[in-house]
């Protein structure tokens, strides 16, 4: 069963940009829906390979990205992490935006990560 401590470890791995650690906490058939994209749920990535590649793209686009002030909640097979994303895009533009991830768990791993971000202009 997933715990708040596991979600904290997941967030810590994101802040270290440690894709190997992140992927050990996700199921092989995991799904990731981004905070924006062409579909109502954002852009969808399915399977560990596609999800891994997308996570690496985030660090390419925002090389120093950090998720600060995290708050985690777990209830049964669902969870939530609320945070503030901070960093500079690769063009030097600063970013600071509030967001959250909604999770669906299978056993002791994350099966679905569904991200939501505030829209700042």
Which domains, and CATH codes, for the chain?
4-117 (3.10.450.50)
Instruction: Dump pLDDT digits (tens) for 41-66.
Output: 899 999 999 999 999 999 999 999 99
Beta bridge partners of 84: 68, 98
Instruction: Find where tokens 């050990």 sit.
Output: 24
Report, as an integer, the average pLDDT of 65-94. Answer: 96
Q: What is the DSSP string of 43-97?
A: -EEESHHHHHHHHHHHHHHSTT-EEEEEEEEEETTEEEEEEEEEEE-TTS-EEEE
* Position 90 pLDDT exceeds 90: yes
The pTM (predicted TM-score) of the whole model is 0.94
Which pair of tokens denotes residue 97? 């935006």
Instruction: Dump pLDDT digits (tens) for 21-33.
Output: 999 999 999 999 9
* Position 121 pLDDT exceeds 80: no
């Amino acid at each position: 069963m997933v715990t708040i401590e596991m979600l904290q470890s997941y967030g810590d791995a994101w802040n270290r940009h440690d894709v190997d650690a992140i992927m050990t906490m996700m199921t092989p058939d995991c799904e990731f829906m981004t905070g924006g994209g062409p579909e109502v749920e954002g852009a969808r990535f399915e399977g560990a390979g596609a999800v891994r590649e997308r996570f690496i793209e985030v660090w390419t686009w925002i090389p120093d990205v950090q998720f600060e002030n995290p708050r985690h909640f777990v209830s049964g097979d669902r969870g939530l992490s609320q945070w503030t994303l901070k960093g500079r895009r690769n063009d030097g533009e600063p970013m600071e935006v509030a967001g959250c991830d909604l999770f669906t768990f299978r056993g002791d791993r994350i099966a679905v990560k569904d991200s939501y971000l505030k829209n700042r202009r």
